[in-house]
Structure 1
Amino acid sequence: MKSVEVVVRAITTALAWLAGLMMVGIMALLVANAVLRSLDKPIFGVVDLVQYMMLTLTMASLAFTQRTGSHISVDMVVEKLPGATRRLFAAAADLLTFAVALALALVMLTIAMRTSSQLDGTGLIAIPTQPFKVFVVIGFFGWALEALLRAYLHVTNRLPVAADPTTGEL
């Protein structure tokens, strides 16, 4: 299982770096466009570029957000449970996340395969959408893998859950 964990972590890390690069790229592109607009030479198709960079950033950051436990959650009931029960609830939530993310990846894969022969593009600069459809699949699949790994780590007691606020116990 350790080698699977290493592979999942490597995929998640690569996606996180890609998300970071997209964020830097978006900032640089928008700053450059703002400067160039003041000189009456705006970047052609900047809105299209930023939209697809945002999509890439969002999909690439899903797995890392799962790894760090940063997705939005409501723990009002679960935090009052004893440690072992809390761990089971955390694992169940991660398994549910895995199922949803995998279902989304499979739906998007079906859509990407169904539309693969279509020549489509968007906006002013006609960026082909097919590579981004495939990247959505990759993003959801990475999220699913990280959720499954997290569930395993909860069950094997290798990932701490939030401490009980009344006793401080895990």
Structure 2
Amino acid sequence: MPDDTSADRSLLARLHRGFIPIEDLANLLAAFAIMALMILGVLQIVLRTVFNTPIGGYIDLVELSMASMAFLGAAYTQRIGSHVRMELVVGSLRGRALWLLEAFGAAVAMFIIGVLIYYSYGHFMRAYTLGDTTIDAEYVTWPSKLLVPIAFSIWWIRLALQFIGAVRLFIYPHATPIGVVITKDAAEQAQDEIHEVMGDDVDFSNPEDES
């Protein structure tokens, strides 16, 4: 059984911590894309309604932004366990059975995302080679299509880390969890969200903090 005191210095732990900034950056870019689209939408409404001068190629810009908003945050969401999960089954399992199921789920997801990486990269190459553009404003589409295999690759790496982490816990059930999603009940999730908003100094045992 591995020494838990050295878990934070293991290769898996270093890869897990080292990959977090990449996921956070991708998620931040997705958030900026959403904010930019909201601002663009407001400008479109104001310019079209007040000045009768809509933004040229607005629909095309919306279409091109979909890839960044839909996929860049996928790895971050995978890391914090916010994707749709069948926790009715997972939440009832403990020990090796739980980590075996988690490893199986990660392996299946790795296969599916791997297939999507292959085909999405093919779509990007075709768009880049043919000089594909949008219909209206004729913006080039390959930068948007390139984001898809990049985002999926980041997601695949996160899944690989979770797969290795689950296999490790299947072999050593009492080891410190690294790189895996820990299932929490509703109360624990709510407490984590409060800590995230209000800070780590909140003491729930102190009535003054609750107010």
Partner of 1:161: 182
Paired residue type of 2:26: L
In structure 1, how many angstroms separate the alpha carbons of the residues matched to 2:137 and 2:181? Answer: 48
In structure 2, how many angstroms separate the alpha carbons of the residues matched to 1:34 and 1:62? Answer: 30
RMSD, aligned CA: 2.1
Partner of 2:151: 139
Q: Which moved more, 1:149-158 or 1:128-137?
A: 149-158
In structure 1, how many angstroms separate the alpha carbons of the residues matched to 2:63 and 2:113? Answer: 22
Q: Is residue 2:106 matched to residue 1:85?
A: no
Deviation of residue 155 (structure 1)?
Answer: 3.4
Instruction: Give identity over the alignment, percent.
Output: 27
SS, match of residue 76 in structure 1? helix
Paired residue type of 2:182: V
In structure 1, how many angstroms separate the alpha carbons of the residues matched to 2:89 and 2:38? Answer: 40
Deviation of residue 36 (structure 1)?
Answer: 1.2
Mapped contact 2:47–2:54 kept (Cα < 8 A) = yes
Partner of 1:168: none
Deviation of residue 163 (structure 1)?
Answer: 5.6
Distance change in 2, residues 1:93/1:115 (3 Å): same
Mapped contact 2:106–2:162 kept (Cα < 8 A) = yes
SS, match of residue 23 in structure 2? helix
Bigger Cα Rg: 2
Which of residues 11, 17, 41 in structure 1 aligns to 2:28? Answer: 17
Provide TM-score, normalisation by structure 2.
Answer: 0.70
Distance change in 2, residues 1:74/1:118 (3 Å): same
Structure having greater relative contact order (Cα 8 Å, sep ≥ 6): 1
Partner of 2:163: 151
In structure 2, how many angstroms separate the alpha carbons of the residues matched to 1:53 and 1:164? Answer: 35
Deviation of residue 10 (structure 1)?
Answer: 2.4
Paired residue type of 1:51: E
Structure 1 segments (4+ residues) deviating >4 Å: none
Distance change in 2, residues 1:83/1:137 (3 Å): same
Which of residues 30, 33, 36 in structure 1 aligns to 2:44? Answer: 33
Mapped contact 1:86–1:161 kept (Cα < 8 A) = no
SS, match of residue 72 in structure 2? helix
Deviation of residue 164 (structure 1)?
Answer: 8.8
Distance change in 2, residues 1:116/1:160 (3 Å): closer
Distance change in 2, residues 1:10/1:86 (3 Å): same
Distance change in 2, residues 1:7/1:110 (3 Å): farther
Partner of 1:64: 76
| Structure 1 portions without partners, runs of 5+ | 166-170
In structure 1, how many angstroms separate the alpha carbons of the residues matched to 2:103 and 2:23? Answer: 19
Partner of 1:76: 88
